[in-house]
Amino acid sequence: MPWTTTETPTPAAPYPPPDRADAARNASFAGERVEALTLRGVRYGRPLGAAPVVVLMGGITAPPTAFGDGASPGWWSALDRPELIDTRRVTVLCPALLGNGSDWRALAEAPRDRPIALPPVSVSELADLVEEWLAGIGCAQPVCFVGASLGGLIGMGLTLRHPARVRRLVSVSAGLGPDGWATGIRHLQREIVRDGLRHGELDRAMSRARQLGMLTYRGRDEINERFELLRPGATQPSIASYLEHNGKKFARGFSPHGFLLLSESIDRCSFARDEAQLRERLAAIRASVAVVGVPQDMLFPYALQRALHEELLAAGKRSRLHTLSSIYGHDAFLADQRALASIMIEHELLELGDAPRD
C-alpha cells in the first residue's frame, strides 16, 4: 500500500529525495497476530549515528515525505530551514503510518471496495510500531519527536511507553487523547465509509466522510470569512465546491481500510486506566515536553493541550505550553506552518544539543 498525499504548503527550495527506510516485523494488536508487517519510512539529512535525530509525524493523511520527495515539496517544508531543522546537521526520520504507507500482507492485498476485518489498533500500538521501526532501521539513540494531530498522540505514546527513546517531545494540536465531540464526528465518518463499502458506493462515501472532516479541520472563522451563505437564486452555498473538490481528491487517493483503522485508533487512545496510573506513567518519562495548541482548533481543542501541560507539571516534568492563534483551526500546523516554525525558533522548542560540524 503506497502512502498518499496530504495538502502541501508553499513550496520549499528543491531538495534531494529522501532515502527509503523500511523494516519487516510481526506484531499483535489486541491479541490478534499480524504476519509480514512492513514498516516504511524515509530519512533526510545525515546518516544514522552521525547527528541528533528528529522524528516527524503528522495526521492521518500525511505521508512520510514531510520535507518533500525530490519532485514536490513536503507538507512540513516550513520546518526545513537552517535555524530550525537543518538537514545538514541532523538526521530527520519520518515513519509511514500503518494503513498509509506501512501495512501487512492481508491489508496490502485486500480489495479496496469490499469490507474487511481490521484489528482494533490503538494509538499506543501505533507508538509501539514506531519504536519497532526505529529499532529496525538501526536508530539506537534517543530522539527529538515532533508530532501534530495523530502524530502528536503517537509521540506522547512513544514517550510514555518507551521512555528511553524520547529525549524531547514537541506535541502540536494533540494531547493525551480525544474529546467526546470529535469522537462522535469520527464515528459518523467511519459509519459513512462502512455504508459505502456495504452498498457499493465507496467513492461517494469516502468523499462525504472527508467533507464532514474538512469542516472540523479548518477554523470556523476562516470558513465564515472565506465562503458566502446560500444566496437567492443559487442552488448551493459557495463552500459546496470546496468540499466536493476535497472529497473527490480524498476518495481517489486514500485507502478506505487505512482510514477506518487510523480514525478508530484515535478514538481508542488511552494511555492509562485511571488518573493514578497516568500520573505514575508520566512520572517515569525522561523527555522534556513542549506543547503547542491552537485556540481555534475544534478537532483537538486547546483545553486538551492545556490538560496535557498541567498533567506533566503535576507529575514533576518539564513542560511549556505555547499558543498558536490561527484562523485555520486544527489545520494551522499545515496552513499556518510558518507561524508554527517561528514559535519553534523563538522559543527553541527542539533542544537538539550539539550537532556535528562539517
Summarize pLDDT for 224-240 with one digit per residue, the tens.
Answer: 999 999 999 999 999 99
Task: Report the CATH number that the domain containing residue 205 is assigned in CATH.
Answer: 1.10.1740.110
Helix (H) or strand (E) holding 146: strand 143-148
What's the average model confidence in pLDDT over 303-326?
A: 98
Same domain, 154 and 235: no
Express each pLDDT in 7-19 by its tens digit. 444 444 456 799 9
Place of cell 520549499: 12
Is residue 238 within 8 A of residue 227, CB to CB? The reply is yes
Domain boundary among 249, 266, 283: 266
Say how far residue 110 (Cα) sits from the centre of its chain.
24
Which residues constitute the domain of residue 90?
19-179+271-346
CA distances from 298 to 83, 156, 180, 269 (A): 31, 20, 12, 18
Is residue 309 within 8 A of residue 291, CB to CB? The reply is yes
pLDDT over 90, % of the chain: 89
**What per-residue confidence (pLDDT) applies to 31?**
76
Domain boundary among 266, 291, 307: 266
Q: Give residue 33's pLDDT band: very low, low, confident or very high (50, 70, 90).
A: confident
Structural domain count, the chain = 2
Express each pLDDT in 61-80 by its tens digit. 999 999 999 999 999 999 99
pTM for this structure?
Answer: 0.94
Q: Bridge-partner residues for 43, per DSSP?
A: 19, 93
Pairing of strands 101-104, 32-39: antiparallel
Q: Which three cell numbers stand for residue 92?
A: 530527520
